[in-house]
Amino acid sequence: MLTKLGRTDLSIYPLGFGGIPIQRVSFEKAKTVILRAKELGINFIDTAQGYSDSEEKIGFAINEDKNYWVLASKSPARDGKEMEKAITNCLKNFRRDYIDLYQLHLISNLDELQLVLGKNGAMETLLKFKEKGYIRYIGITGHKPQVLKEALDIFPFDTVQGPYNPLETQSEELFKYARAKGVGTIVMKPFAGGALTSPSGCIKYILSKVFVDVVIPGMESVEQVEENFRASLDLKMTEEEKQGILRDIEELKNNFCRRCDYCQPCPQGIKISTVFILHGYLSRYGLKDWATARYQSLPVLANRCSQCGICENRCPYELPIREMLQKSHSDFQR
C-alpha cells in the first residue's frame, strides 16, 4: 500500500531503499537488487552526493523505467555554486531530467542553516532549480533533532530526515512535530548503523509509528530487500525479534554514540561523534576506503585526544569516549 510523503503529491511505499551500501557492489549487482525492490512494489530511493558511485548505479539500474521511481538525493553544499554542481551531477547520474526530492544534508546547527538560507547560499540554487522543474521538493537531513525542529519553523521544508530506531529514539518528538506540520518524515539509520542485529524487528518497530512516512534501510542484496519487505507486510514483532532488540540495547547502551554532541566542544578540536559515525561505516558497513578517506580528511584525528576526560563528564550516556576514540583511530590505521 502506498502512502503520501507528508504534504507532497509523492506516493511511496513505506519501505524505501537506502543507497549507501551499493557502493560495495558492481553496477550489474546493484541493478539486480534495485529491480527486485521494484518487483516487490518499493518505489522510493534515497542516496547522496557523497556516497561515491551510488547515484550512478541507481541511474544505471532504473534507466529502463526511470519514471516509476521517486528519487531523492542530498548534498552537504552550503553555497550556491557547490549546490549547483551537486544537483547538475545528480541529474546526470540519475539519467533523468528531474529529481523528486533534493535535501540539504547534515545540517548540524542553526549557523549552518542561516548560511544556506543567506545570500548566495545553497537554498537560492535549490529554489532556482525547483522553479525550473529540475527539483520537485526540498528537504533537510541531520542528526540533531532540536536543530531540525527549529529549521522547520524557519523554512517550509517538504521533508525532514533523521536517525530513528529502537536504540536511538531521540528524533521521536521531531517526527511528531513534523507530521503535525505536514512535513514528510524519512527515517535513516534504522539499524543504528548496523549495530542492531534484528533488521526485521527494527523495520516493524519503526513502521508501526504513525509519525513515520518511510524508512530507508541500506540494501545491497536481493536477500536483504526480501527480508525487509517481508517485515513491512506484518508489523507484529515476534518474541525472538523483541528479545533480539532488547539484548542489543542492553549490550550497546554503554558503548554506542547517539550523536547528541553534549560532549562537544573538545579542547583538542576532535569532532567526536563524526569519528564514531565514520568508524561505524568502517566496522559495520564494510566501507573501508570510503570511511577511511573521510576520517583522514578530518581537521583533527582521534589520536590527538589528550585524555582530559571532559567529554566523558558531559556525556549523558556515560560512554568511555577516550577509549572509543583510541580504538577508532587504531582501526582506521589497519
Which helix (H) or strand (E) segment is 75 a member of?
Answer: strand 70-75
For residues 150-168, give the mean pLDDT.
Answer: 97
Looking at residue 334, its pLDDT comes to: 87
Say if CB 22 and CB 231 are below 8 A apart. Answer: no
Say if CB 234 and CB 32 are below 8 A apart. Answer: no
In eight-state DSSP terms, residue 200 is: H
For residues 10-32, give the mean pLDDT.
Answer: 97
For residues 238-245, give the mean pLDDT.
Answer: 96
Between 8 and 255, name the one with better pLDDT.
8
pLDDT in tens, 36-79: 999 999 999 999 999 999 999 999 999 999 999 999 999 999 99
10 Å Cβ neighbour count for 274? 19
Q: 207 vs 118, 186, 292, CA distance in Å?
A: 36, 11, 33
| Mean of pLDDT over the chain | 96
Say if CB 278 and CB 224 are below 8 A apart. Answer: no
Looking at residue 1, its pLDDT comes to: 87
| Closest of 183, 200, 194 to residue 148, by C-alpha | 183
* DSSP state letters, 234-257: --PPPHHHHHHHHHHHHHHTTT--
Question: Which one-letter amino acid corresponds to residue 227?
Answer: E
Asked if residue 254 has pLDDT above 90, the reply is no
Say if CB 42 and CB 13 are below 8 A apart. Answer: yes
Which pLDDT band holds residue 227 (cuts at 50, 70, 90)? very high
* DSSP state letters, 100-162: EEEEE----SHHHHHHHHSTTBHHHHHHHHHHTTSEEEEEEE-S-HHHHHHHHHHS--SEEEE
With H, G, I as helix, E, B as strand and everything else as coil, classify residue 99.
strand
Q: What percent of the chain has pLDDT over 90?
A: 94
Torsion angle of alpha carbons 4, 85, 93, 219, nearest 10°? Answer: -60
DSSP strand pairing (99-104 vs 70-75): parallel
Asked if residue 238 has pLDDT above 90, the reply is yes
Looking at residue 286, its pLDDT comes to: 83
CATH number of this structure's domain 3-244, picked from the four choices 3.65.10.10, 3.40.640.10, 3.30.70.3400, 3.20.20.100: 3.20.20.100
Torsion angle of alpha carbons 1, 244, 195, 52, nearest 10°? Answer: -30
Name the residue ranges covered by the structural domains of the chain. Answer: 3-244, 272-332
Looking at residue 253, its pLDDT comes to: 84
Residues 6+ apart with CB under 8 A from 92: none
